[in-house]
Amino acid sequence: MTQVKNDLLLRTLRGERTERTPVWMMRQAGRYLPDYLKLKEKYSFFERCQNPDLASEITIQPVEQVGVDAAIIFSDILVVPQAMGMEVQMIENKGPLLPDPIKQFSDLDKLVVPDVHESLGYVFDALKLTKQRLEGRVPLIGFAGAPWTLLCYMVQGKGSKTFDEAKAFCYTQPETAHRLLQQITDTTIAYLQGQAAAGADVVQIFDSWGGLLGPEDFENLSMRYIRQIVAAMKNKALTIIFAKGAWHSLDSMAATGAHGLGIDWCIRPGMARQLAGPQCALQGNFDPAKLLSPIPVIRKEVKSMLDAFSGYPHIANLGHGILPNVPVDHARAFVETVKNYQYEPA
C-alpha cells in the first residue's frame, strides 16, 4: 500500500502533535465547484455516485483546486437506505425524496440488510480507484450517515426542519424504531468495514440531525447505535463522529473511543474541549455562512478560530457542509489561512 505523504490528518487523529493543523471541509466535493457543476449537467446525481470514474474525479477536484489535506469520497448518506430496498430520488433544488417511507412495523418487511458488496460495491470501487489516483498525496475519508439521521429520512420521506413525523414514529412505536435502527446499524457496520478494506483511512459518521434530540433521546436513539459502529471499526480505520448540535453528549462520544469529534459553530472550542476531555481531536467549527464574508474577514476569523483550539489536537473544518453559493476563492482563503497560520501566544 502507498504510504500517505501528507498524513497530518492521520497523525492529528492519533493524538500526535503536528507541525500545523490539517484542514478539509465537510461537503467539499461538488456543489460550489465549477467543474462539478459542469458534470452535473451531463449526469444525474446517482449516476455521479455510481460511476467510480466520475465519483473519483469529483472526489479529487477539491484536493487539486482548493488544496485541502484530505479527500472525502463523493457519495451520499442516502445510498444506504437505497441499498436496504427503498427508492430514493434526488430532486433538483429540493433535495431527497423517498416516496414510500416507513410508517409501521409491517413496512420493515420491505427492507433488507443487504450484502454490501453487491449493492454498494460501486462505492468500494470508487474508493479503490480514488486511492490509486491520489498516489498517497492525502488521506482518503469514507463516510456514512448515523442510524438516527438515516431513520429521519426513511420515515419522514424527505428533508424537514423538525423531522416531526420521524420523532412521532419513535415516540409512538419505539420497538419498531429500535428494530429499524438496528437494521441500519448492521448495514452501516458492513458498509464502513468494506470502505476501510477498499482504502478509506478514516471514516466519518454524519449525524446531521442529532441536535433535534434532547440528551436522553440522543443516547437512546442515536448514541447506542453509533457506539456499536465505532466499536466495529476499531483497528480498521480512524473514526470521526459529527453529531451536529449534540454538543451536550461530547463526553459520551469521546468515551466510544472515536479518534475525532466534529463540532458546529454554536459551541465555544474551550467548552467542547472540557466536555470531550484532552485526548480526541476536535474538528470544526467555522460557521459555513462566514465563507460568504469578504476574504480579509475570513482570514481574521479563521485565525481566531485556530487560536481558540490551540494546545490540543485540532482539525480545521466548517461546522457543517460548505454552502453551494460560496465563491471558490473564499474556500481557498479558508484553507490557505490554516496552512499559513503560526500560533503566537498573547
Q: Would you tell me which residues interact with ligand CP3 (CB under 6 A)? A: 27-31, 40, 45, 72, 74-78, 90, 95-96, 143, 159, 206, 208, 321
CA 138 to chain centre: 17
Cβ-based nearer residue to ligand CP3, 312 or 322 = 322
Residues 6+ apart with CB under 8 A from 330: 291, 292, 293, 295, 298
Determine contact, residues 117/47, Cβ cutoff 8 Å.
Answer: no
> Residue 53: is it exposed, middle or buried by C-beta count within 10 angstroms (0-12/13-18/19+)?
exposed
Min dist. Cβ of residue 74 to ligand CP3 (A): 5
Cβ-based nearer residue to ligand CP3, 75 or 312 = 75
Min dist. Cβ of residue 344 to ligand CP3 (A): 32
Cell of 169: 414514529
Cell of 7: 498524513
Q: Which residue carries 466535493 as its cell?
A: 29
Min dist. Cβ of residue 169 to ligand CP3 (A): 18
Cβ-based nearer residue to ligand CP3, 140 or 170 = 140
Cβ-based nearer residue to ligand CP3, 76 or 201 = 76
Q: How far apart are CA 285 and CA 297, in angstroms?
A: 16
Min dist. Cβ of residue 221 to ligand CP3 (A): 16
Query: What are the backbone dihedrals phi and psi of residue 314, each rounded to the nearest 5 degrees, phi first?
Result: -140, 140
Closest residue by beta carbon to ligand CP3: 208
Residues 6+ apart with CB under 8 A from 121: none
Min dist. Cβ of residue 40 to ligand CP3 (A): 6
DSSP SS3 for 153? helix
> What is the number of other CB atoms lying within 10 angstroms of the CB of residue 205?
29
Cβ-based nearer residue to ligand CP3, 77 or 190 = 77
Min dist. Cβ of residue 327 to ligand CP3 (A): 17
Cβ-based nearer residue to ligand CP3, 119 or 273 = 119
